[in-house]
Amino acid sequence: MKIVSYAIAAGLAVASFTTTASAADITGAGATFPFPIYAKWAEAYNKETSNRLNYQSIGSSGGIRQIRAKTVDFGATDAPLKGEELQKDGFVQFPAVMGGVVAVYNVQGVSAGQLKLTGEVLADIFNGKISKWNDAKIAQANQGVTLPNASITPVYRSDGSGTTSVFTTYLSQVSETWKSGPGVGASVQWPVGQGGKGNEGVAALVKQVPNSIGYVEYAYAKQNSIPFAQLQNKNGKFVSPEAKTFQAAAANADWKSAPGYGISLTNQAGDEAWPITAPTFILVPKNPEKPEQVAEALKFFDWSFKNGDKMAVELDYVPLPAQLKDQVRATWKSEIKNASGQPVFTQ
Partner 1 sequence: MVALSQERLVSSAAAPARRSPPPSFDRLFRLASLASALLVLIVLLGIIGSMIYGGLPAFREFGFGFITSSVWNVNEDQYGAWVAIVGTLTTALIALVIGVPLSLGIAIFLTQLCPPWLKRPVATTIELLAAVPSIIYGMWGLFVFAPLFANYVQIPVSNIVEGMPIIGTILYARTPSGVGILTAGIILAIMIIPFIASIARDILDQIPSVLRESAYGIGCTTWEVVRNVLLPQAGVSIIGAIMLGLGRALGETMAVTFVVGNANRLSGSLFDPGSTIASRIANEFNEAIGLQLNALMALGCILFLVTFTVLVLARLLVSRVKVG
Partner 2 sequence: MDTALQHRTATEPTTAPAPWGRVRRSRHVADRALKIICTLFTILGAFFLGWILLMLIVEGIGGLSPAVFTETTPGPGSQGGGIANAIVGSLILTVLGIVVATPVGVLAGTYLAEYGKSSKLAEVIRFVNDILLAAPSILIGLFVYMLMVQPMGGYSGWAGGVALAIIAVPVIVRTTEDMLRLVPGSLREAGAALGAPMSTVIIKISWKAARAGMVTGVLLATARIAGETAPLLFTALNNNFWFNPNLMGGVANLPVMIYQFALSPYENWRELAWAGALIITMSILALSIVARLLLRKDKVR
Residues that bind partner 1 (CB under 8 A): 58-66, 68, 131, 151-154, 158-160, 183-197, 205, 208-210, 212
Give least dist CB 74 to partner 2, A. 14
Between 35 and 156, name the residue whose CB sits nearer to partner 2: 35
Rounded to 5°, the CA angle 175-181-184 comes to: 75
Q: Which does 70 bind (CB under 5 to 8 A by kind): partner 1, partner 2, none?
A: partner 2
Dihedral angle sign, alpha carbons of residues 37, 43, 49, 50:
positive
> Strand 52-57 to strand 25-30: parallel, antiparallel, or no bridges (unpaired)?
parallel
Give least dist CB 31 to partner 2, A. 14
Q: Which does 207 bind (CB under 5 to 8 A by kind): partner 2, partner 1, none?
A: partner 2
Query: In angstroms, rounded to a whole number, what is the distance separating the alpha carbons of residues 104 and 215?
Result: 6
- Which of these, 297, 283, 338, lies nearest to 77 by C-alpha position? 283
Q: Which does 82 bind (CB under 5 to 8 A by kind): partner 1, partner 2, none?
A: none
Residues that bind partner 2 in the complex, under the rule CB under 8 A? 3-4, 6-7, 10-11, 13-15, 17-19, 25, 27, 35-36, 39-40, 42-43, 46, 52, 54-56, 69-72, 196-198, 200-201, 203-204, 207, 220, 223-224, 226
Q: Which does 65 bind (CB under 5 to 8 A by kind): partner 2, partner 1, none?
A: partner 1
Tell me, what amino acid is at 127? N
- Beta-carbon contacts of 201 under 8 Å, excluding residues fewer than 6 positions away, are 157, 158, 195
Q: Which does 218 bind (CB under 5 to 8 A by kind): partner 1, partner 2, none?
A: none
Between 131 and 177, name the residue whose CB sits nearer to partner 1: 131
- The distance between the two most distant Cα atoms of the chain, rounded to a whole number of Å, is 75
Between 158 and 247, name the residue whose CB sits nearer to partner 1: 158
- Beta-carbon contacts of 8 under 8 Å, excluding residues fewer than 6 positions away, are none
Query: In angstroms, rounded to a whole number, what is the distance separating the alpha carbons of residues 95 and 118?
Result: 29
Query: In angstroms, rounded to a whole number, what is the distance separating the alpha carbons of residues 185 and 79?
Result: 9
Give least dist CB 316 to partner 1, A. 27
The stretches of 18-114 forming alpha helices (DSSP H) are 35-49, 60-68, 83-89
Answer whether 288's CB lies under 8 Å from 294's CB. Answer: yes
**Strand stretches in the chain, DSSP E:** 25-30, 52-57, 74-77, 91-106, 116-117, 153-157, 194-196, 212-217, 230-232, 238-239, 265-266, 276-285
Q: Which does 25 bind (CB under 5 to 8 A by kind): partner 1, partner 2, none?
A: partner 2
Q: Which does 181 bind (CB under 5 to 8 A by kind): partner 2, partner 1, none?
A: none
Between 69 and 339, name the residue whose CB sits nearer to partner 2: 69
Query: In angstroms, rounded to a whole number, what is the distance separating the alpha carbons of residues 33 and 200?
Result: 9
Between 209 and 251, name the residue whose CB sits nearer to partner 2: 209
Q: Which does 160 bind (CB under 5 to 8 A by kind): partner 2, partner 1, none?
A: partner 1
Long-range interactions of 336-342: CB distance < 8 A, separation 24+: 336/92, 336/284, 336/285, 336/286, 336/287, 336/288, 336/294, 336/298, 337/286, 337/287, 338/287, 338/288, 338/291, 339/287, 339/291
Give least dist CB 244 to partner 1, A. 34
Q: Which does 308 bind (CB under 5 to 8 A by kind): partner 1, partner 2, none?
A: none
Between 188 and 226, name the residue whose CB sits nearer to partner 2: 226
